[in-house]
Structure 1
Amino acid sequence: MKRAERLHALSEMLRRSGTRGYSADRLAREFDVSVRTVKRDLAALESSGAPVWSRPGPGGGYGLAAGSSLPPVTLSPAQAVALMAAVSAAADAPFADLATAGVQKILDVLDPKTRSRADELAGRVWINTVPAAPRTIRSALEEAMADQRVLRLRYTSRDGTTTTRDVEPVLFASTNSQWYLVGWCQLRTAMRWFAISRIEKASVTRMVCSGHAISEVGEPPASARPVHGRID
């Protein structure tokens, strides 16, 4: 991992730690570097304007002040294009609009030379995207998942049967180039997979989900993984 990438990952890790913080030893193990290197990186973040705090003694460590914003990160043209390609190829993914907006914010603060080179390189990447579900449906699914509220769906199954049912959203899953909403179906009293492309209407109710866990869905296949955490 290059130093610029490590600094960004380090700042993100400190931000997520909240008031707990992390010890220098823990950070060194996380990034597979020496404690001395971690302390140099922390000093570099602080000198760039990041509000790094330190707490000495047992149980102490390093963190970022709550509510702080992170200093800008320099991207290479290839890294910028990688972000553009990723969000463009996943236009039908949950929260895709937010991802696009986030990438645009990053592109807007690139220096003109890097942005120009990124735009030229982006023209050499072609993507044939799949049609996305209507924005109204995706917005309802995203809101219900984030707030853990029951969804009311009008759904047409593979055999052409259309039903209206209340579903407690548990997770989104992508398999074989198809996105699914996985949730507890109150009509069937069981966990069900709903192809988002076959959801004809979706609305968020005021009912709060009863707390069905991801573990009830079962173990993902060996080739699948959650999107959180560090990307290998």
Structure 2
Amino acid sequence: MSETTSRVLQLLGLLQSRRVWSGNDLAARLGVTTRSVRRDVERLRELGYPVAASRGHGGGYQLGAGAALPPLLLDPDEAVAMAVCLRLAAGGSVAGVGESALRALSKLDQVMPRRLRSQVSAVHEATVTLTSGAPESVVEPDVLMTLARASRDREHVTAGYVDRSGTATRRRLEPYQLVTTGRRWYLLAFDRDRHDWRSLRLDRMSDVTAVGTTFAARDAPDAAAYVRRSISTSPYRYVARIRYHAPVDIVAPHFPAGSVDIEADGPDATIVTAGADDPRAMVPWLAMVDADFEILESPELADAMEAMAARMRRATRG
């Protein structure tokens, strides 16, 4: 491979890794002059890669979308990750991607080096997916991809949203990160009209549009923790806190991921925070953990526990 060809491929990899590059930054990374960068950009354009150039503050070179999809450069880790995700997508919760995922996987598998193909096969063979009919919620692929790109590029989006009560609103958002629990997809975003952070279910979003303007990154909360807290307690009328006299690794497996908030209380105790619209619904669920526990909050849950205990005692008499 000639030095020029190698440099052009390296330039392509840089343009795919970040949204905008200045000519000076590219020249420094490639070890050439800005004039050489301009020539290499022209070579990429001749090969069908739509490289846009803009002047002024925030300007530079940007790899855009073209009429056809040119070849992508993937490093080994990216290739393995993409292949694994495509295999999972065939049975996932994104609408209509199963057949397309298999076609894309076959093309990727055809050109992957043997050592990378063996890594993908190892992950696939060591993974079992449990299914129980239709997914709990279905996300349109366009919604998922639009939000993923907007989160990466810090781009404003607008979207229709239907909340838990069925109320429809129009949201102006700064998207930060996507979170999946395996059953549902969520977006951590800053709501520009409510001036606060929100956790939004993707299957309740519609008409998601990236508006083309960007925002400065805020000091965002931890996305996974925020979403876990919002789906385990925020939507519910009653919130309970329970201390189990057992370590986290004993307690955590009894609860589905994202259904409760779990934290260690020293090496031998665990505090679980959970919510429900009816405290009686929490009683059998919380009592399934094989450990002694105490109710720290929610007198309604304590009353429901007492009523259930009395019913159990009556059932065992005689």
The TM-score, its normalising length taken from structure 2, stands at: 0.37
Greater RCO (CA < 8 Å, at least 6 residues apart): 1
